[in-house]
Amino acid sequence: MPCFLAIDVGGTKADYALVNEDRTLARVRSGSIKRMRVDAQTATDNLEAALRELTAQSGIDLRTVVRTCVGTAGQTVPLVTDWLHAEIPLRVGGDLLVLGDVEIALDAAFPGQPGILALAGTGSNVAGRTPRGDIFTAGGWGPVLSDQGSGHRIGVQALRALCLARDGGTSTDLLPAILGFWKLGSFYDLVAFANASPPPDFSQLVKVVVQCADRGDRVAQAVLEQQGGELADLVCLLIPRIQQSVDDSSFMPGLAFAGSIMEKVHRVRQSLIDAVHEHYPAVIAMAGVVDPLQGAIWHAKTGAGFERVE
């Protein structure tokens, strides 16, 4: 029976599933293999460790794999995709298709069907598919240019908000909480640490911001609500584009979610849904989050999209 490999590459981790037509044979997780986040040796070590574990769990020689689909953050960046195209075929047989992480998440929710997927984890992106199969995206241009609603953006905006609150004489729990989390002694230590080169991992601050918001801190709450609203703006950019593409202003795509922020940070997710419903009340938001790896499995098993590869 033919075997297929699916990989979902994120900024902090990568998930792998080896499947046949009937069932999942092995599933493992490694550190990230995204070259924008880790160096080449670390990416190689993480990839090889994961592939060894897949073989150990399944007893399958990965050179017999028929098709592999990889969904990755940073899919438009040659550093990321060139490495994947170079390294995976050295270790895994069959055809290889590399897609964006938001596209495989879209297919986990709406396999080959119309809909919109909002993904927010370490980074963020939004994608929508028309009834004709055309895909539009909004956001996803990295931490400097976009990443609305992402873990990185939440951390950065929380730091900006606490600085503004301090300048205005407004009290917020964010300052002592972040000082404690990063083991810093003063506000000025925080300024130096946040502006260091290379910078710290701002996405680590999400849990601190959520804890402060849950305790009633309005500055922290506003940060999370704002990020949900900014992610909703991207969703609202795609809805009319999808409607225009089929010349049907009544068509309303469903909305699904993926990523750790959408799964775990209720204020961001609910603010997104509320903001979308202000403009498009008929949008139906799916409960929970999808597993993007299921979209990569769908591509690998069906061969959908592999005609793009020369």
Total residue length of the chain: 310
In sequence order, the β-bridge partners of residue 4 are: 19, 67
Give the pTM: 0.86
Residues near 245 by beta carbon (within 8 Å), at least 6 away in sequence: 130, 132, 134, 136
Across the beta sheet with 3-9, what order do the strands follow? 24-31, 13-20, 3-9, 67-72, 95-100
What's the pLDDT at 310?
39
> Across the strands, what pairs with 96?
68
Q: Do the Cβ atoms of 130 and 215 come closer than 8 Å?
A: no
Question: Which homologous superfamily is 3-93 in?
Answer: ATPase, nucleotide binding domain (3.30.420.40)
Q: Is 97 buried (19+), middle (13-18) or exposed (0-12) by CB count in 10 A? A: buried
CATH code of the domain occupying 102-290: 3.30.420.40
Q: What are phi and psi of 308, to 5 degrees?
A: -70, -25
Angle between helices 40-58 and 78-91 (to 10 degrees): 40
pLDDT of residue 229: 98
Domain ranges within the chain, ordered by starting residue? 3-93, 102-290
Cβ–Cβ < 8 Å for 2, 21: yes
pLDDT, residue 73, reads 81
Determine the pLDDT at residue 278. Answer: 98
pLDDT in tens, the chain (310 residues): 899 999 999 888 999 999 999 999 999 999 999 998 899 999 999 999 999 999 999 999 999 999 999 999 888 889 999 999 999 999 999 999 999 988 999 999 999 999 999 999 988 999 999 999 999 999 989 899 999 999 999 999 999 999 999 999 999 999 999 999 999 999 999 999 999 999 999 999 999 999 999 999 999 999 999 999 999 999 999 999 999 999 999 999 999 999 999 999 999 999 999 999 999 999 999 999 999 999 999 999 999 888 654 3
